[in-house]
Chains A and B, each alone.
Chain A
Amino acid sequence: QSVLTQPPSVSGAPGQTVTISCTGSTSNIGAGYDVHWYQQLPGSVPKVVIYDNTHRPSGVPDRFSGSKSATSASLVITGLQAEDEADYYCHSFDSSLSGVIFGGGTKVTVL
């Protein structure tokens, strides 16, 4: 069971908006630790799409955005495209565990 909770799956039609939540606690997200989001395409290595809660690395489309509030964070994909079909993981730090933590992952399906 992951310390950061994500929905197992979300889906949407092309052009729609999907939101992936990442729920933590007062020892991780709520303690102020940054949240990062990774995209893992089938058979590929994870790649960061959002870092430090809201920042998008160069080369990542602006349809990806992130937010953080209290003990949770969200990744929003606006204008969903077929190539966005992948697994997405949130990533942070936990002071109680004194270690890095990942969410369980969310599979995004483009209908």
Chain B
Amino acid sequence: QVQLVQSGAEVKKPGASVKVSCKGSGYSFRNYAIQWVRQAPGQGLEWLGWIYAANGNTIYSRDLQGRIAITRDTSANIVYLEMSSLKSADTAVYYCARKHVARTYLDYWGQGTLVTVSS
């Protein structure tokens, strides 16, 4: 069965960087795009960016461009989200989600990774 398993919770200080991983299994990793979405405590969903696993092409949210990087390791079926210059406003649950192969909706989600930014 399709699974996206994310790395564990992180606590970071303001100004630091964080790297969250998302390992896919149960499907052909290269055939899909993975998107990252975050949710601050008590808030809605915010799209961060996506990567096409086949060629590594990425698209980022304009609000975060310059502070985030999404990469992938096709040999291990893992996608990474790295975010730099962290602020307290970046405290959120970060989700990876798979885009359906032929449509634009997100059909499978990771369990989420809580990133806490606090001094």
Contacts across chains A and B counted by CB atoms under 8 Å: 59
Residue of A nearest to B61 (CB): A99
Residue of B nearest to A91 (CB): B105
Query: CA–CA, A48 to B103, complex, Å?
Result: 13
Question: Is the CB of A46 closer than 8 A to any CB of chain B?
Answer: yes
CB distance from B23 to the nearest CB of A (A): 16
| Given A51-B103, A99-B62, residue A45 in contact with residue B47 (CB < 8 A) | no
Known: A34-B104, A91-B105, A104-B44. 10 other contacts (CB 8 A): A34-B105, A45-B95, A45-B109, A45-B110, A46-B97, A46-B106, A46-B109, A51-B103, A99-B60, A100-B47
Q: List 16 A-B contacts (CB under 8 A).
A: A34-B105, A45-B95, A46-B45, A46-B97, A48-B105, A48-B106, A48-B107, A57-B107, A89-B44, A91-B106, A93-B104, A99-B49, A99-B60, A99-B61, A101-B47, A105-B45
User: B: which residues have CB within 8 A of A?
Assistant: 35, 37, 44-47, 49-50, 59-62, 95, 97, 100, 103-107, 109-112
